């Protein structure tokens, strides 16, 4: 975890692919707790530190995560994420070149809680939620392609599921059809950039997360 941006109301960090945003059944310390300790120490705060989770990234995904440092910011940011008022850009490394170098994907996703997996359908089916994103091919290395993805909706495993449905599973993502895992146990999906109007000051906030430095492929494929 590296801090990318901080003010009185919000703090944004660059999450690694091994860190979790919130506590889960593994019992591993989540980023929310790590950050509370960081803030307590940095500002020498007595008592409990307030820190609110505004959105999530899957554990194997790296990149920018925004937290709220005040309840006022938390309420407004939660609303902004829910209403898709936060622009989110992801980078994904895939093995297969997409047929079209850019396009828009629209599917209907059904979440399987037991398998912790989503299935994409081309038309509406029971219990499905509409999912849409746009993508474009922005770079390539000898063997891999880098896609830039703009999320329009925020469904469970949406990018992983929709790119796999297109025939382009993300590198390292065994759950969605990639044949091999990555050495670090993560997948090659990175939350590259967020942009939003500050919930309190109303200034435009733009945050870019550097690519993971523990995988040389990111350096090879990034533009």
Give the pLDDT score at 143.
92
| More reliable by pLDDT, 198 or 213 | 198
- What is the band of 28 on the pLDDT scale with cuts at 50, 70, 90? confident
Q: Provide the domain limits for residue 160.
A: 2-221
Residues 6+ apart with CB under 8 A from 141: 217, 220, 221
In the chain, the number of structural domains is 1
Q: What does the pLDDT read at residue 222? A: 87
Helix, strand, coil share of the chain (percent; to 5): 20, 35, 45
Nearest to 150 by CA among 104, 99, 94, 96: 104
Q: Name residue, tokens 């209403």.
A: 83
Q: What is the mean pLDDT of residues 216-220?
A: 90
pLDDT of residue 23: 77
pLDDT of residue 27: 79
Catalytic residues, by residue number, are 58
CATH at residue 87: 3.30.2350.10
Predicted pLDDT at 52: 96
| Structure tokens, 145 | 């392609």
Query: Residue 151 in contact with residue 104, Cβ under 8 Å?
Result: no
Q: What is the pTM of this model?
A: 0.94
What pLDDT score was predicted for residue 179?
Answer: 95
pLDDT recorded at residue 214: 84
DSSP 170: B
- Going from the C-alpha of 218 to that of each of 101, 145, 164, the distances in angstroms are 20, 11, 20
What is the per-residue pLDDT for 55? 92
Per-residue pLDDT tens over the stretch 129-186: 999 999 999 999 999 999 999 999 889 999 999 999 999 999 999 999 999 999 989 9
pLDDT (tens digit, 9 = 90+) per residue, 44-86? 988 899 999 999 999 999 999 999 999 999 999 999 999 989 9
155 CB burial (10 A radius; 0-12, 13-18, 19+): buried
189-197 vs 10-15, strand pairing mode: unpaired
List residues bridging with 195 in a β-sheet.
87, 206
| Cβ within 8 Å of residue 196, ≥6 positions away | 77, 80, 85, 86, 87, 204, 205
**pLDDT value at residue 31:** 95
Tell me, what's the pLDDT at 22? 82
- DSSP 3-state assignment of 112? strand
Residue range 82-119, pLDDT digits in tens: 998 999 999 999 999 999 999 999 999 999 988 999 99
pLDDT for position 205? 98
Task: From 12, 18, 7, select the one nearest 64 (Cα to Cα).
Answer: 12
């Amino acid at each position: 975890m590296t801090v990318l941006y901080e003010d009185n109301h919000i703090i944004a960090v660059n999450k690694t692919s091994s860190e979790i945003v919130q506590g889960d059944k593994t019992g591993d310390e989540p980023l929310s707790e790590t950050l509370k300790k960081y803030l307590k120490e940095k500002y020498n705060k007595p008592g409990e530190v307030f820190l609110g989770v505004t959105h999530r990234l899957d554990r194997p995904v790296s990149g920018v995560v925004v937290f709220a440092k005040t309840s006022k910011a938390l309420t407004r940011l939660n609303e902004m994420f829910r209403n898709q008022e936060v622009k989110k850009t992801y980078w994904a490394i895939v093995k297969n070149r997409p047929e079209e170098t850019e396009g828009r994907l629209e599917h209907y996703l059904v979440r399987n809680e037991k398998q912790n997996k989503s299935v994409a359908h081309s038309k509406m089916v029971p219990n499905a939620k509409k999912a849409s994103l746009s993508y474009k091919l922005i770079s390539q290395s000898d063997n891999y392609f880098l896609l830039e993805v703009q999320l329009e909706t925020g469904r469970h495993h949406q990018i992983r599921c929709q790119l796999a449905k297109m025939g382009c599973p993300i590198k390292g993502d065994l759950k969605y059809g990639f044949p091999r895992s990555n050495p670090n146990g993560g997948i090659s999906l990175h939350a590259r950039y967020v942009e939003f109007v500050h919930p309190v000051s109303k200034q435009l906030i733009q945050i870019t997360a550097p690519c993971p430095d523990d995988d040389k492929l990111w350096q090879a494929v990034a533009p």
